């Protein structure tokens, strides 16, 4: 019965490992190609919804693919556990046998060496005893080799098991990541429908507003007035809502960081801090750098850097939000997160005026502050 179960399990592993991943891989590749084509196509509400639907389907497939691979590894690990138990029992028995046989062989050899003439009636008897002892030594040698082989097989199976456990752990992390991405994509689709009211006109208007804000910042970086040097912690502005209604939806600080003209995640510069996460709910800890935060506690992060429920608006950046949107219940004062040269600018943004401050730091790094009073 155990043999039949083992064979069935092995056949199931072969089937799952050969056919299931291939089927998923083919569909995943097709979806990735479709998403790439949609991302490079012109922007419309219909295409954006199609893109989000494709991303949701892709994440769902990746999630299922990871689960199938985890299940296959679970079967393989179970099989290896059985093999390890069997080999451990075999190894123990052989070790006990070797430990018993070697002293017995040594005793026989000692007796033979001492009494081969005394206890043997003739020369033929001596030869026969010698051959018998030689045969015992050969058996002991074979038994010892079998013990070594069992030990080697045991160690090999344990190594295989640990490798598969590591693969399974990595896949579980991927599975968790795919689950998070899927939840975010579903949230983004619902937010898109809520924000646009499923209207192409509203969709295009919101895209235009986001682009106008980006263009205002580009002009500010060229035309800004130099205010002078600032030190870390110096007050530089107040949180505001300038740009409303064309380029702002409420009082907040849009804080972004660029290095040599390319956006970088602000968390790579800001110090580690636990803040309120209004985008996803709850609290979270973020920050890997040495900069202080531009606002004091309690900080509420209303929109993250990267893919967010609102980042579909930023087609100019490949659909990512280029900074942090934040507010504070402690103070409206914005403070310099690090030393640098402060600049100020006011720019047209649609039918509104947006006020912008930015600081030029060392190494081509610029931190920008939008919607200030």
- Is 341 within 8 Å of 326 (Cβ atoms)? no
pLDDT at 1: 47
Read off φ and ψ for residue 125, nearest 5 degrees: -65, -40
Measure the CA–CA gap between 134 and 108, rounded to whole angstroms: 11
pLDDT at 43: 80
More confident residue, 5 or 297: 297
Give the count of alpha carbons within 13 A of 180, CB side only: 9
CATH number corresponding to 2-196: 1.10.287
Read off φ and ψ for residue 364, nearest 5 degrees: 70, 20
pLDDT at 146: 66
pLDDT, tens digit, 9 for 90 and up, residues 95-139: 666 666 655 555 555 444 444 444 455 556 555 655 555 655 666
Tokens representing 172 are 């579980």
312, pLDDT greater than 60: yes
Q: List own/partner pairs for 111-118 with CB under 8 A and 24 or more apart.
A: none
Measure the CA–CA gap between 13 and 79, rounded to whole angstroms: 10
Residue identified by tokens 């602000």 is 266
Q: Max Cα separation, the chain?
A: 123
Measure the CA–CA gap between 273 and 358, rounded to whole angstroms: 23
Nearest 5°: CA angle at 278, between 276 and 279?
A: 130
Read off φ and ψ for residue 92, nearest 5 degrees: -65, -45
Pairing of strands 262-264, 333-335: unpaired
For the chain, the structural domain boundaries read 2-196, 201-370
More confident residue, 315 or 35: 315
| Nearest by Cα to 267 from 300, 235, 290, 239 | 290
The whole model's pTM is what?
Answer: 0.69
Read off φ and ψ for residue 305, nearest 5 degrees: -80, 145
pLDDT at 315: 84
Tokens representing 244 are 């409303």
347-359: buried (b, 16+ CB within 10 Å) or exposed (e) per residue? bebbebebbbbbb
pLDDT, tens digit, 9 for 90 and up, residues 204-214: 999 999 999 99
All residues at 6 or more sequence positions from 371 whose CB lies less than 8 Å from its CB, including other chains: 239, 240, 241, 242, 243, 247, 248, 251, 252, 253, 254, 354, 355
């Amino acid at each position: 019965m155990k043999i039949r179960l083992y064979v069935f399990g092995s056949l199931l592993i072969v089937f799952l490992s050969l056919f299931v991943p291939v089927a998923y891989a083919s569909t995943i590749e097709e979806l990735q190609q479709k998403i790439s084509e949609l991302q490079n196509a012109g922007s419309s509400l219909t295409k954006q919804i199609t893109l989000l639907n494709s991303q949701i389907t892709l994440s769902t497939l990746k999630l299922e693919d990871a689960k199938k691979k985890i299940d296959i590894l679970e079967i393989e690990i179970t099989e290896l556990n059985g093999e390890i138990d069997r080999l451990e029992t075999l190894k123990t028995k052989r070790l006990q046998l070797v430990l018993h046989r070697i002293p017995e062989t040594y005793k026989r050899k000692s007796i033979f060496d001492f009494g081969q003439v005394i206890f043997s009636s003739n020369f033929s008897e001596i030869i026969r005893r010698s051959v018998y002892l030689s045969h015992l030594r050969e058996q002991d040698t074979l038994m010892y080799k079998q013990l070594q082989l069992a030990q080697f097989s045991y160690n090999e199976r344990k190594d295989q098991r640990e490798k598969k456990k590591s693969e399974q752990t990595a896949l579980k992390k991927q599975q968790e990541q795919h689950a998070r991405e899927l939840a975010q994509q579903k949230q983004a689709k619902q937010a898109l429908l809520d924000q646009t009211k499923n209207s192409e006109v509203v969709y295009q208007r919101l895209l235009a507003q986001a682009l106008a804000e980006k263009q205002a910042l580009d002009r500010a970086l060229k035309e800004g007035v130099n205010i002078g040097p600032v030190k870390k912690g110096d007050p530089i502005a107040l949180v505001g809502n300038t740009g409303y209604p064309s380029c702002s939806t409420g009082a907040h600080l849009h804080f972004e960081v660029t290095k040599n003209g390319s956006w970088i995640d602000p968390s790579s510069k800001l110090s580690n801090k636990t803040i309120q996460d209004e985008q996803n709910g709850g609290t979270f800890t973020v920050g890997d750098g040495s900069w202080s935060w531009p606002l004091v506690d309690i900080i509420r992060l209303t929109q993250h850097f990267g893919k967010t429920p609102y980042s579909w608006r930023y087609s100019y950046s490949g659909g990512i939000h280029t900074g942090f949107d934040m507010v504070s219940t402690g103070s409206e004062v914005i403070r310099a997160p690090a030393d640098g040269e402060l600049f100020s600018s006011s720019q047209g943004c649609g039918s509104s005026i947006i006020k912008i401050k930015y600081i030029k730091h060392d190494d081509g790094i610029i931190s920008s502050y939008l919607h200030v009073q």
